[in-house]
């Protein structure tokens, strides 16, 4: 089968260069675009692509992909690279594909003269991953793929350094950052020379605008919660599950969420959703939610599979199934075009994670036009505040919210 790039992918490919950030929403085809860039611009070859004569690589070099553990384990990159005649075994040009997770990035610090694809941006801060990235970037060609490359200018610092814009993090801070001198902890008050930062970002950011054929239909599903228990826990500072006084605001936050997220009405709504969508992905936050969701297997006699910190199971290959995905473990790095529906058992604090989770079924090759998202939420004060923050694309601070309630109960 001949490869074929869509117009927005061709446009992005033409603008890419070493050190680029390829920015595209979920399902826009960043993977195939990056592989085309590697094959043609890095290695000087032409794959079997529609409208072009295939040519061998003039400058062959191995390709390394650093991605999420789920993408590595599911062999997503191997599947896409196979269309280019690239695999873990040396092909006719002598190049090999290496795929690993971000946790193992330090294993590749000694690699030179290769090409790296950094998939699903993880380069924030100044930790070990960033240090390994900068060592590798200095001795290899590379591009970075991301749907959300940075929320603040500090998020771009590792990539700016790797592109030679700054010598190190300190140099960036000296030129652009003013800290709040009245804050008890390092807090950025404002950035200086922002026009220069915008020029530098524009020089490496390659955006992939794309008009989707899908329509996202988001339905709010109102569920109940135990109002008396919630009020008792918050006003009396009482641990209703262990029958003792709460130690601090952190415990109050945990108890509030458990009271809200374990109401049996949520199971009832999920059962109604499954009647419409016999193949359903369900995102959840906590282990106690997972225990409730597991009861669906016997209630419905449905096959259930899980993706979380302990289990990495594939989606069942049957005509009906339930796939339970923990937000943090599975909000990105995998795709599913076998269903048109996702249910969100409980709300996540992060708008970014919420949007990434929606994107798991919103792909270029999905056969569905209408995609259905069911958001279970209650009238509980904490649910209202979380939803309010998600609506303004702000991350909810559960600890700060609990501290205010804790002080009011004093």
Alpha-carbon distance of 208 to 23, in angstroms, equals 6
Alpha-carbon distance of 410 to 398, in angstroms, equals 19
Is residue 328 pLDDT above 70, yes or no?
yes
User: Are both 160 and 272 inside the same structural domain?
Assistant: no
User: Are both 157 and 59 inside the same structural domain?
Assistant: yes
- Judged by average pLDDT, the poorest of 104-118, 144-158, 160-174, 298-312 is 144-158
Q: How confident is the model at residue 126 (pLDDT cuts 50, 70, 90)?
A: low
What is the side-by-side order of every strand in the sheet holding 63-67?
Answer: 97-101, 63-67, 115-119, 141-146, 21-23, 205-207
Is residue 176 pLDDT above 80, yes or no?
yes
8 A C-beta contact, residue 21 and residue 159: yes
56 lies in a domain?
A: yes
User: Are both 117 and 255 inside the same structural domain?
Assistant: no
Is residue 386 pLDDT above 90, yes or no?
yes
pLDDT of residue 349: 94
- Which of the listed residues 207, 233, 265 is the one where a domain comes to its end? 207
Is residue 20 pLDDT above 90, yes or no?
yes
User: Are both 327 and 182 inside the same structural domain?
Assistant: no
Closest CA to 31 of 364, 400, 405: 364
Angle, vertex CA 163, rays to CA 107 and CA 77, nearest 5? 45
Alpha-carbon distance of 288 to 293, in angstroms, equals 9
pLDDT of residue 51: 80
Alpha-carbon distance of 192 to 378, in angstroms, equals 43
Is residue 331 pLDDT above 90, yes or no?
no
Q: Domains in the chain: how many in total?
A: 2
User: Are both 65 and 92 inside the same structural domain?
Assistant: yes
Is residue 136 pLDDT above 90, yes or no?
yes
pLDDT of residue 410: 63
User: Are both 194 and 249 inside the same structural domain?
Assistant: no
27 lies in a domain?
A: yes
pLDDT of residue 1: 58
Most confident option among 86-100, 183-197, 210-224, 253-267: 253-267
- Over pLDDT 90: what percentage of the chain? 70
pLDDT of residue 122: 64
Alpha-carbon distance of 53 to 391, in angstroms, equals 49
- Judged by average pLDDT, the poorest of 23-32, 55-64, 116-125, 264-273 is 116-125
The stretch 250-277 carries a mean pLDDT of 97
- Which of the listed residues 185, 207, 229 is the one where a domain comes to its end? 207
Alpha-carbon distance of 225 to 376, in angstroms, equals 12
pLDDT of residue 372: 98
- Which of the listed residues 207, 225, 249 is the one where a domain comes to its end? 207
119 to each of 146, 238, 331, how far by Cα in Å?
A: 7, 45, 14
Residue 145 φ/ψ, nearest 5 degrees: -110, 135
Structure tokens at 24: 């595209």
* Distant-in-sequence, close-in-space partners of 247: CB < 8 Å, separation ≥ 6: none
276 lies in a domain?
A: yes
Is residue 27 pLDDT above 80, yes or no?
no
Q: Which residue has the tokens 């899980």?
A: 306
List residues bridging with 143 in a β-sheet. 117
User: Are both 32 and 164 inside the same structural domain?
Assistant: yes
- Average pLDDT of the chain, as a whole number: 91
8 A C-beta contact, residue 98 and residue 150: no
User: Are both 273 and 181 inside the same structural domain?
Assistant: no
Tell me the pTM: 0.69
**298, burial (CB in 10 Å: exposed 0-12, middle 13-18, buried 19+):** exposed
Length of the chain equals 410
Most confident option among 59-73, 142-156, 366-380: 366-380
Domain that holds residue 102: 7-207
User: Are both 22 and 67 inside the same structural domain?
Assistant: yes
1 lies in a domain?
A: no
User: Are both 155 and 292 inside the same structural domain?
Assistant: no
pLDDT digits (tens, 9 = 90+) for 333-377: 788 999 999 999 999 999 889 988 998 998 878 999 999 999 999
Is residue 147 pLDDT above 90, yes or no?
no
373 lies in a domain?
A: yes
CATH, residue 195: 3.40.50.300
Most confident option among 44-53, 94-103, 146-155: 94-103
2 lies in a domain?
A: no
Q: How confident is the model at residue 124 (pLDDT cuts 50, 70, 90)?
A: low
User: Are both 124 and 237 inside the same structural domain?
Assistant: no
The stretch 368-397 carries a mean pLDDT of 94
pLDDT digits (tens, 9 = 90+) for 263-274: 999 999 999 999
User: Are both 263 and 393 inside the same structural domain?
Assistant: yes
The stretch 245-274 carries a mean pLDDT of 96
Neighbours of 231 (CB within 10 A): 12
Closest CA to 344 of 298, 299, 305, 293: 293
Is residue 146 pLDDT above 80, yes or no?
yes
388 lies in a domain?
A: yes
Q: How confident is the model at residue 248 (pLDDT cuts 50, 70, 90)?
A: very high
Structure tokens at 390: 């998600």
8 A C-beta contact, residue 384 and residue 222: no
Is residue 251 pLDDT above 80, yes or no?
yes
């Amino acid at each position: 089968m001949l490869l074929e790039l869509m117009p927005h992918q061709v446009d992005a490919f033409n603008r890419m260069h070493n050190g680029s950030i390829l920015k595209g929403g979920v399902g826009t085809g960043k993977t195939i675009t990056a592989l085309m860039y590697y094959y043609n611009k890095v290695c000087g070859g032409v794959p079997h692509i529609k409208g072009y004569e295939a040519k061998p690589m003039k400058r062959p070099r191995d390709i390394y992909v650093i991605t999420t553990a789920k993408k590595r384990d599911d062999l997503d990159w191997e599947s896409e690279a196979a269309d280019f005649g690239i695999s873990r075994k040396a092909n006719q040009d002598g190049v090999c594909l290496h795929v690993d997770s971000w946790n193992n990035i330090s294993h590749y610090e000694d690699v030179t003269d290769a090409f790296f694809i950094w998939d699903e941006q993880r380069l924030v801060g100044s930790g070990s991953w960033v240090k390994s990235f900068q060592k590798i970037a200095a001795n290899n060609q590379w591009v970075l793929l991301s749907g959300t490359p940075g929320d603040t200018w500090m998020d771009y610092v590792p990539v700016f350094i790797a592109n030679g814009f700054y010598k190190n993090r300190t140099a960036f801070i000296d030129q652009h950052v003013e800290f709040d001198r009245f804050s008890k902890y390092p807090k950025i008050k404002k950035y200086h020379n922002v026009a220069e930062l915008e020029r530098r970002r524009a020089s490496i950011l390659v955006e992939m605008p794309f008009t989707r054929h899908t329509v996202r239909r988001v339905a709010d599903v109102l569920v109940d919660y135990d109002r008396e228990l919630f009020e008792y826990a918050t006003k009396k500072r009482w641990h209703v599950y262990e029958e003792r006084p709460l130690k601090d605001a952190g415990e109050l936050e945990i108890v509030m969420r458990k009271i809200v997220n374990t109401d049996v009405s949520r199971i009832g709504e999920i059962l109604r959703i499954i009647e419409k969508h016999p193949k359903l992905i369900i995102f959840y936050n906590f282990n106690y939610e997972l225990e409730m969701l597991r009861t669906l297997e016997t209630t419905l006699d449905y096959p259930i599979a899980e993706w979380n910190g302990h289990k990495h199971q594939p989606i069942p290959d049957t005509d009906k199934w339930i796939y339970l995905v923990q937000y943090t473990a599975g909000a990105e790095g995998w795709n599913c075009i076998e269903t048109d529906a996702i249910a969100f058992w409980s709300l996540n604090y992060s708008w970014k994670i919420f949007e990434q989770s929606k994107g798991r079924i919103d792909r270029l090759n999905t056969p569905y036009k209408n995609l259905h998202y069911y958001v279970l939420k209650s009238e509980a004060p904490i649910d209202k505040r979380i939803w309010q923050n998600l609506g303004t694309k702000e991350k909810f601070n559960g600890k700060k919210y609990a501290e205010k309630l804790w002080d009011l109960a004093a």
